[in-house]
Amino acid sequence: MKNALLLLCCALCLSCSRPVYVEFTGYAQGGVWQVKANLQGVSADRSTLQRGMDSLLTAIDASLSGYNRGSVLSRHNRGELSGDVRAREEALIAGYDAMFLKMLELAQAAWTLTDGKVDASAAALFDAWGFGFKHDSLPSAALVDSLKALAGSFSLRRPDGQPQRFNFNAMAQGYSSDILAAYLRENGVKDMLVNVGGEMVCTGVNAAGKPWKLGIDAPYDGNDAPGRKISGIFSVSQVPAGVVTSGNYRKFYIKDGVKYAHTIDPSTGRPVVHSLRSATIIVGPDCPLIASGAPFEGYPAALADALATFCMVVGTEPAVAFVEAHPGVEACLISGDAVPEAWTGDALQENYRVWKSEGFPAE
């Protein structure tokens, strides 16, 4: 009898110690978000965590979305919030919120880090080309020049008293993944994969006890379904990490036979024209840019989001130089001049070139 009770107790202990991986999902920011998390030892139940993440994403939308006309960002861009605020306390009283002010801080840090190549204050340029919150396209050279002159400032107001318009799309989904990951960590979750629009945070291990395995979408025009055609797979063992891929093969339009990609170079005011088709960035735990006291502390996915955009702005060679100069930042860059009519998915075709940093993980 004692042996039977002992065996039963051992079985119960083993069952309690087993990982309990569950999947959360929902709709936000124009797409589906997904979280895989190990709830072993977590006191909050699944429904509570789901509601918490839904609530956070709703709050992010109400603060940072340019498509939500009632968001803090939209109201600011229309000039509806009180004007000349110089301190955080004044801004909060004027109708701004903590998420908006934090994103503004991160956006300015990204602008400084990338020498102005990632510029949230260039919202008017993005709108003019039809890649912001409006549907214009093919602006005149004179208009482009005038809008370029308005960018590069992170004050809430321009000297003429008008609002400095912002577009946080280059970091908003990475930021969202960081926020969800922080919430889960606060609730005791150690193993998780957070994915908001393809911008991810990885911590711990997967349900098999191994590093999270991720894929890179094949970067050909028209590959609009994430995960349908994969050009590479890698495992993320150095965690926690932010992982983001950016490319010019989904958001673009063609007029008079010319492709206009959604990536705008703030220095020229025009969509980029180069052979880099996608950039996958990993910001690992040893990256000084997210160390204690650094501007991106606690926001590895927001940083990876910004750096993936930076790579797509500058092209392959400057992107390689940047990655090699910044420890803890790893990259896989896929470039190619031709676009295949069909993609087999088995391997990259010969007209594509792949560069991986020394520390970019293998499968």
DSSP conformation letters of 14-54: HHHHS--EEEEEEEETTEEEEEEEE-TT--S-HHHHHHHHH
**CA 331 from chain center: how many Å?**
14
Confidence check: pLDDT of 125 > 50: yes
pTM to 2 decimal places: 0.90
pLDDT digits (tens, 9 = 90+) for 173-202: 999 999 999 999 999 999 999 999 999 999
Which tokens hold the place of 20?
Answer: 């309990």
> Looking at 284-328, which runs of residues are DSSP E strands?
none
- Tell me the CATH architecture of domain 211-356: Roll (3.10)
Confidence check: pLDDT of 13 > 50: no
User: What residue segments make up the domains of the chain, in order of their start?
Assistant: 72-148, 211-356
Predicted pLDDT of residue 139 = 87
Predicted pLDDT of residue 7 = 41
Average pLDDT value over all residues in the chain: 88
Predicted pLDDT of residue 281 = 98
In degrees and rounded to multiples of 5, residue 112 shows phi and psi of: -65, -45
Predicted pLDDT of residue 345 = 45
Give the rounded percent of residues in the chain with a pLDDT score beyond 90. Answer: 69
